[in-house]
Amino acid sequence: MDSIDQQIVAQLVADARSSYAEIGGIVGLSAPAVKRRVDRLLDVGVLRGFTAVVDPSALGWGIEAFVEVHCRGNVAPSEIRAGLVLLPEVVAAYTVSGAADAIVHLRAGGIAHLESALERLRAVDIVERTVSAVVLSTLLERPLLEMPAP
């Protein structure tokens, strides 16, 4: 990925609705050249797709929590995933180092909904216990391209 590809990706992150001609004007390429590069970035997996960014609160999912999941015994990540995928409130889940086996990101419509989701999470047969932290406010969400190169 060269600097022009990086500029194209940055423009798409800023506004995925930008036309190839608009992006080309920014990066100094023709629209067909930008399209070829975008297609290649999709083919190699740099770009995974295009989507609308929705405010979860606007859809009634204003409560957010992160939950440490501690499992019974030695549980494979695929088993953890299988237990979590059925809970619609789980928006993301990660295996992690440390005492917990996974960290789960939950969204809910209110405190009662969150409590219900946590009860259903704890009822998953592989789950031994959970430790929850409810998000009070978001301090920072940074698009990947704003991060310095590793």
In angstroms, rounded to a whole number, what is the distance separating the alpha carbons of residues 113 and 89? 9
Structure confidence by residue, pLDDT tens digits, 7-62 = 999 999 888 999 999 999 999 999 999 999 999 999 999 999 888 888 888 998 99
Query: Could you report the per-residue pLDDT of 72-88, keeping only the tens digit for each?
Result: 999 999 999 999 999 99
In the chain, where the domains are located: 3-43, 56-134
Strand partners of residue 68? 103, 131
Token pair 């600097």 is found at 3
pTM of the model: 0.77
What stretches of 15-88 show up as alpha helix (H) in DSSP? 20-27, 31-43, 77-84
Distance of CA 28 to the CA centre of its chain: 32
Residues in a beta bridge with 107: 64
> 3-43 and 56-134: same fold?
no
Q: How does pLDDT run across 19-33, given as a tens digit for each residue?
A: 999 999 999 999 999
Question: What is the CATH T-level fold of the domain 3-43, as seen in this structure?
Answer: Arc Repressor Mutant, subunit A (1.10.10)
The domain defined by 56-134 carries CATH number 3.30.70.920: yes
Report the DSSP beta bridge partners of residue 63. 108
